[in-house]
Structure 1
Amino acid sequence: MAGIMKYGIIGVGMMGREHLINLYHLRSEGVVVVCIADPHLPSQQLAQSYNWPIQVFSEHKQLLDSGICDVVVVSTPNMTHYEILMDIINHPKPHHVLVEKPLCTTIADCKKVIDAAKRRPDILVHVGLEYRYMPPVAKLIDIVKGGTLGHIKMVAIREHRFPFLVKVNNWNRFNCNSGGTLVEKCCHFFDLMRLFVGANPVRIMASGAIDVNHKDEVYDGKVPDIIDNAYVIVEFDNGARGMLDLCMFAEGSKNEQEISIVGDMGKGEAFVPESIVRWGLRVDGRDGVKSLKAEDDRIKYDGLHHGSSYLEHLNFLSAIRERGEKAPAVDLHDGLISVAIGVAAQHSIEKGRFVTIEEVMQA
C-alpha cells in the first residue's frame, strides 16, 4: 500500500456523508478523512458522528488554508460548485478534487473552471458521474466497447423513480440553484449516452413539465419550478440517437434505471437495482439472449448508488497515486458536455424546438 492520502470534504449533507462513509471503507487503501467544511451545524454534527477524528471548518477557504489535506471532495449544493472549484484551483497549495455532478450549473462556469484548471497541471479534477461504475452499467459498457453489438445506433435510458429528496434549505427545488432537473439529475444519463455511442452530441429535442411533484410546496413565498418528467432525444455526430424517459413519480417500479443499447449486430440491456445484464445478437434471435447478475467483488460498501461511489473513489485514488500519468476516468470535458446536453434539453422545453449544442455552447 502507498502512503496515507488525506482527504477533506466540503459540504457534508447527504452526498457529503455518503462520500465520508465510502472513504471510511477505504481505510485499508491508506485513506483518511482529516477535515470537513460546512456552514450548516446539523450537517457538521452528523458528519462528526463517524469514527474518525475530524477537524471541522465552517467555510471551505478555512479548510484549504489549513493545509492539512491533499484531496478535496466537493459535495455542496450545485450553485456553489463554481466558486468553490475556482478557490481550490487558484489556491497556492495543490489539492486534487473530486467534484459531485453537475460540474457547474451553467456552461459558462464549466468553461471558466476548465480554463483555470489548464493552468494547474499539478491538480487532478474528477467529476462525480459515478453511474459509469455501477456493476451492471460497467458490464454493459464492456460489452459495447468489446464490439459485440456492432456499431451502436440507439441508446434508450429510462429512469422511473421517487421525487427529489429534501435537501438543506430546499435548495434543489429551484432551477436557479440546481441548473434544472435535466442538468442536476440527468447529466449522469447524457454522460452514459455519449460513452455508449462514442460520439459527441449535435442537437437535442425535449418535452417535459411539472405534473405531480412539489406543486403544493412553497419556500419563502416561491413555488418550486423543477420539472418532474420529460422525454429527451439526443442526436450524435456519428448518426446515433439517444433517448431519455424520465419520471420522478414512479415509485411503483421494480427497477429505477433500465438501459437499452442497440447496435447493427445486437442488443444489450442493464437493469438497476436488479443488477441484471442481458445481451444478444440479431442472428441468434430471442433464444440466444444471454443474462448475468453483475457484481464487483472490490465493493466494500454499497451505499446510495449500488457501490458505484466506492469504485469511483478507488479509481480516483489510483489516478492520484500514479501522479498524473493516469488521467481521471471522468474529466472536466466530460463534465462540461454532460451539463451542455442538459442545458440544451431545458432550453428545448422552454422554446418548443430542437436546440443545438453549438447554440448553447456559444451563448
Structure 2
Amino acid sequence: MLRYGIIGCGMMGQEHLRNIALLDGASVAAIFEPDPDMRAAAATLVPDAQMVGSVAEVLANPEVNALLIASPNHMHLGQLEQIAAIRPLPILCEKPLFTDPADAPRLARLRAAYPAPIWVAMEYRYMPPVAHFLQQAAAATGGVRMLTIREHRFPFLRKVGDWNRFNRNSGGTLVEKCCHFFDLMRLVAGCNPVRVMASGGQAVNHLDEVYDGQRSDIWDHAYVIVDFASGLRAMLELCMFAEGSRYQEEISATGPMGKIECLVPGPGRFWPAHLGAAPVPKVILSPRQPAGPVELDIPVDPALLAAGDHNGSTFYQHRGFQRMVAGEQTAEVGFEDGWWAAAIGMAAQQSAMTGEAVHLDRAPFTPA
C-alpha cells in the first residue's frame, strides 16, 4: 500500500489528492499545509488523513512510505534537504527542483547523498496527446531536426500569499512555467542543450500589480531558442494573455521525412460553455511522401479530466511513481532531468535579461 505524506496542499496539491484517490492501492496518510483555507479544502478531499504542523511531523508518521512535495517553488530545495536529514523516502517533487542559480552546489550535494529515488513532476510528458506525440516523433519525422512548442494560455492564477508574482519565489516565468517545455525538448533531443537565447518580459499582465509595496516582476510572454548537442534546434513561444485560444499547447516536430503536431486544449473548466463541448486533443501526421496530413483524435478519460487541469497527466504520473516505489521501475523523470529543466529556464531568464546567449557548458547552475 502506497501511503503518501503531502507537503503543501494548495491548488496543485489538491489536484494530486484527487488523482491519488483514483489509484488502486494508494492513499494519503498525512498532510502539512500551513494555510487554513487550503488545509480545510484538503481535509474535505481526504478526511482520514492526519493534518500536521510541519514537515518533521509528516515524516514522524509511521504509515507514510512516500512523499509528495507541492509547496511553493522556493521551498522545494530546503524541504528536500530537511527530508534527507530526517527520514529519506521516495519523493515526487513538483517542479522546479530549485529557483536560485546560486543554489546549484546545494543541489549537487543532495544528489550525491540522497539514498532514495526522487521523481520530479513533469506532468506534460504524461498528457495522452503529448505521450502519443513523443512515441511517434522519431518515426514520423525520420529524426527530429526542429521542434517548436507554443503555449497560448491564461495568466498566472492567484496563489496563497501571491508567491508566484515574484521571480525570487518562482524562479521566474521561464523556470516556473516553462521548465515543463524544456524537459520535453531535452527528452525529444535525447541529449543536453548547449546554448540558450531568449527574449521576454511583461507586456499585458501584472503591470499594475503591487503587493506589500512591491511591484510584481513576473513575465507574461517570451521567445526562447535552445540549441542541442545533436544539432536539433528547439523554440518556445509563450503568451499568457491568450486564453481565448482553441488550443493551449501546440507542439510541432519536423525532420527529413515529415512533420508531427500535437494540439492540446486548456483546462476544461475555462472553456466557454456557450461554445459547447471542449476541443478534443489531436495529433496530426504530415509525411512529405505521400503528402497529406492524417489527423488523429486522442481523447482523455472524462474522469481524469475532472480530477485536474492537466489533461489526465497527473494520474499517469502517479501510476508510474507508484510502480517505482514498488520496485517495478526506476524514476521516469529523475533528479538529473528535473535539474536540467530548471537550468534551461534559468539560462533563458539570464539571456532575456542580458540580451546575450548563454552557453550552458560555462553556466555554473547546470549539472556537472
With normalisation by structure 2, the TM-score equals 0.91
Query: Which whole-Å CA distance do the structure 2 matches of 1:87 and 1:299 have between them?
Result: 36
1:129 aligns with 2:122: yes
Once the two structures are superposed, residues 184-225 of structure 1 have per-residue CA deviations (whole angstroms, 9 ceiling, x without a partner) of: 000000111111122211111111110110111110101100
Give the superposition deviation at 1:43.
1.1
Give the superposition deviation at 1:58.
2.0
Write the mapping of 1:1-363 to structure 2, written as runs, cut at 5 A: 4-26=1-23, 29-91=24-86, 93-109=87-103, 112-121=106-115, 123-145=116-138, 147-273=139-265, 274-285=280-291, 287=292, 289-295=293-299, 300=304, 302=306, 303-322=308-327, 326-361=329-364
Count residues in correspondence.
Answer: 351
CA 76–362 in structure 1, closer or farther in 2 if over 3 Å, else same: closer
Query: Which whole-Å CA distance do the structure 2 matches of 1:294 and 1:16 have between them?
Result: 26
* Secondary structure, counterpart of 1:9 in structure 2: strand
Higher mean C-alpha deviation, range 312-321 or range 58-67: 58-67
Higher mean C-alpha deviation, range 59-68 or range 160-169: 59-68
Unaligned runs of 5+ in 1: none
Query: Which whole-Å CA distance do the structure 1 matches of 2:299 and 2:330 have between them?
Result: 25
CA-atom RMSD, angstroms? 1.7
CA 297–41 in structure 1, closer or farther in 2 if over 3 Å, else same: closer
Query: Which whole-Å CA distance do the structure 2 matches of 1:301 and 1:68 have between them?
Result: 30
CA 205–168 in structure 1, closer or farther in 2 if over 3 Å, else same: same
* Secondary structure, counterpart of 1:358 in structure 2: coil
Unaligned runs of 5+ in 2: 266-279
- Contact 1:343-1:360 at 8 Å conserved across structures: no
With normalisation by structure 1, the TM-score equals 0.93
The one-letter amino acid of 2:97's match is: L
Give the superposition deviation at 1:280.
2.2
The one-letter amino acid of 2:21's match is: Y
CA 137–280 in structure 1, closer or farther in 2 if over 3 Å, else same: same
* Secondary structure, counterpart of 1:361 in structure 2: coil
- Contact 1:299-1:311 at 8 Å conserved across structures: no
CA 298–197 in structure 1, closer or farther in 2 if over 3 Å, else same: farther
Give the superposition deviation at 1:108.
4.6
CA 111–259 in structure 1, closer or farther in 2 if over 3 Å, else same: farther
- Contact 1:24-1:32 at 8 Å conserved across structures: yes
Once the two structures are superposed, residues 170-195 of structure 1 have per-residue CA deviations (whole angstroms, 9 ceiling, x without a partner) of: 00000000000000000000111111
The one-letter amino acid of 2:103's match is: D
Query: Which whole-Å CA distance do the structure 1 matches of 2:43 and 2:365 have between them?
Result: 44
Query: Which whole-Å CA distance do the structure 2 matches of 1:40 and 1:332 have between them?
Result: 28
Question: What stretches of structure 1 move > 4 A for 4+ residues in a row?
Answer: 296-302
Query: Which whole-Å CA distance do the structure 2 matches of 1:148 and 1:183 have between them?
Result: 30
Give the superposition deviation at 1:312.
0.2
